[in-house]
A and B are shown apart, each in its own frame.
Chain A
Amino acid sequence: MLASMAARLHYSRIALGVILVAVLSALLICLIYWSVHYELPNPMDTLIVRYRFNRVLSAVTAGLVLGIAGASLQGCLKNPLVDHYILGVGSGALFAVLLSILVYGYSLSIAPIAAMAGGLLALSLSIFIAESIGGTDASYVLAGLGVNALFSGLSIMLTYMVAMRYAFAIYFLVGSFTLASDKYYLTMLVSAFILLASYPILAKPLNAVLLGDEHAKQLGYNPRIYRFLAVVSAGIASSLIVSCFGIIGFIGLVSPHISRFLIKSVDHRVVIPLSGLVGAILLLLTDDFVRLILSDYVGEIPTGAIVSIFGAPFFLTLLLTRFRRGLR
């Protein structure tokens, strides 16, 4: 009797997750349509439609990638306060992109490769240092913080040098979709594919990792291998996004929390896709706000900055609410 009740309860939670994914997907599609067609001066104006569509698709893909990457990273490191930025991947990728611009000028074929190389370099440094000091969850975060500080400083320095020739480089520091274009499609597609392909491989092992490294091992999952896979896939995917639109830090941090709050569970089989959808919706809404409302008053402010302004209080409220309700 209780067994079937427990099963029903658990199944109902998974069903709730599936329903939420479906509802959010539908909401996202409606939002995409609305974002493209909002106050369109002339429906036949394909130039505007194309620009808007590119921009909307860019925000959605970036949000999806950063949301999934954030959920994977938080799960594999058992740390609810990390995202790709904390591990230094974002700043490493940005540094490499800026360096490539400085040396070769901006190139669509070089920038993503440089971003991956920079992101992976920063990641390798973080992993090497973290493994050297024990390979625990805390080691990864501490190593990432140090690497991040190094590459952030270098990126700011290079931005000043690059911005003299390429003014748009300043957008990379905060993250913006102003220059969204279909030329980024391939990079975005590869980025999304890496994370979507890693989802079925990582979802269950990450649940085991939440119980601790020893428990994960005695359940047949080597935590170091799955942590490495999760960190590398999230690192490469977010590096590619950085090469297109710069650093957007807050989405990867907040989306997994909202997802876990919605589903009242930490099961990665549901949290990862949900986090991707939440990230996509949040980033699209923010970019819509910047593009459709804020630009009338103060001009185009980088979306990355507005994400933090709106996201931070929301995130803090969420944390306080969860603690007061007994962490649920």
Chain B
Amino acid sequence: MISIRDLTVEYRGGHRGIEKVSIKIPTDRVTCIIGPNGAGKSTLLKAIAKIVPYNGYVYLDGLEVSSTPLKTVSRMVSYASQIHSHELLSLSVLEALLVSRYPVSKGFVEGAEDYRSVYNIAREMMIEHLLERRIAELSSGELQRVIIAMALAKDPRYLLFDELDAHVDVGVKAMLSKLIKKWSINKVVVFTTQDILFGVTNGDYFILLDRGRVVFTGNKKDLLSRLGIIEKVYHVKIARYKYSDLDLIVPIYTS
């Protein structure tokens, strides 16, 4: 269980990314965090992963994150976000995956277990052919798959994906949908997305944020019955469709 109480994250200059947020994120369901740009989705995940300092309380398996050593948190949580790599100082994909195992690998140089693990993940994410390429050379879609693989590399209990489906094509989104279900069997998956169709399709539990505050938490059925909240937050009309046994929601863009 991820338990959050009175969480406030204040950035330099006094801007509050998150303000007085109190929520519980279940561990037996896939949690999707949605909200418009600047709502505080990334900030919430960063606070859970101890990447930004905060006021309030964040509990991971009973451990309060701010008073838990970064090393310990790093073994429990992966936070996957964008990478900006310098062309002349860019690791190869294989090196980046091995570096991503540092919290769990032993010794100064990697062992056979690290390579086995990294390859299995590369195969799962279909990036074996990219292993020798440099990160700075990859397309944004390829890079996104590598970032996801890097999050998986240390085999954490909590997988926090910031914009999980950013830059990837619909084929990869379909692949991610299957993988989310697979990961959720023995891991806690929390992801943010700007694609509400992708989010509603793959999430079981939803947190809707707006300007740093929580405006909705609940399961899919609750969310679908209160589409007006999403429409109000995004300022866009939302249509609901039924396809086979799937409930789909689609934003309507009109000129």
Contacts and interface: CB of A to CB of B under 8 A. Distances in A.
Interface of A: 2-4, 6-7, 9-10, 14, 74-75, 78-80, 134, 200, 203-204, 207-208, 210-212, 214-215, 217-222, 257, 260, 265-267, 269, 322, 326-328
A110 B70 CA distance: 41
Interface centre among A9, A14, A75, A218 (most CB of B within 10 A): A218
B86 A219 contact: no
A9 B94 contact: yes
A26 B84 CA distance: 38
Contacts of B123: 2
A21 to B, nearest CB: 14
A327 B79 contact: no
A74 B90 CA distance: 12
Given A80-B89, A211-B83, A218-B74, A10 B51 contact: no
Given A207-B91, A269-B109, A328 B118 contact: no
B112 A204 contact: no
Given A3-B119, A6-B118, A10-B94, A204 B102 contact: yes
Nearest to B105: A204
Contacts of B131: 6
Contacts of B150: 211, 215
A273 to B, nearest CB: 12
A212 B84 contact: yes
A269 B107 CA distance: 12
Nearest to A10: B94
25 contacts: A2-B119, A4-B115, A10-B94, A14-B109, A80-B89, A210-B85, A210-B91, A211-B100, A212-B85, A214-B79, A214-B81, A215-B83, A217-B49, A217-B70, A218-B49, A218-B79, A219-B74, A219-B102, A220-B75, A260-B88, A266-B90, A327-B87, A327-B90, A327-B134, A327-B137
Interface centre among B84, B99, B120, B134 (most CB of A within 10 A): B99
Contacts of B83: 211-212, 215
A37 to B, nearest CB: 38
A326 B88 CA distance: 10
Interface centre among A14, A219, A266 (most CB of B within 10 A): A219
Contacts of A267: 91, 95
Contact of A134 (B12, B73, B110, B112): B12
Contact of B91 (A2, A80, A211, A219): A211
A207 B79 contact: no
Contacts of B87: 327
B190 interface: no
A6 B116 CA distance: 9
Instruction: Give the contact-size bracket for chain B.
Output: 35 or more
Contacts of A322: 88
B98 A200 contact: no
DSSP majority for the A interface? Answer: helix
Contacts of B26: none
B77 interface: yes
B60 interface: no
B199 to A, nearest CB: 22
A218 B160 CA distance: 11
Nearest to A218: B79
B17 interface: no
Nearest to A271: B89
Contacts of B91: 207, 210-211, 266-267
Interface in B122-149: 122-123, 128, 131-132, 134, 136-137
Contacts of A265: 92, 95
Contact of A218 (B78, B94, B96): B78
B99 A207 contact: yes
Contacts of A260: 88
Interface centre among B50, B81, B100, B115 (most CB of A within 10 A): B115
B95 A269 contact: no
B89 A218 contact: no
A212 B102 CA distance: 15
A260 B89 CA distance: 9
Given A14-B109, A326-B137, A220 B120 contact: no
A74 B132 CA distance: 23
Contacts of A204: 99, 102, 108
Contacts of B251: none
Contacts of A212: 83-85
Nearest to B99: A207
A7 B136 CA distance: 22
Interface string B62-86: 0000000011011101110101111
B41 interface: no
B138 to A, nearest CB: 12
Contacts of A7: 112, 115
A6 B86 CA distance: 24
A79 B86 contact: yes
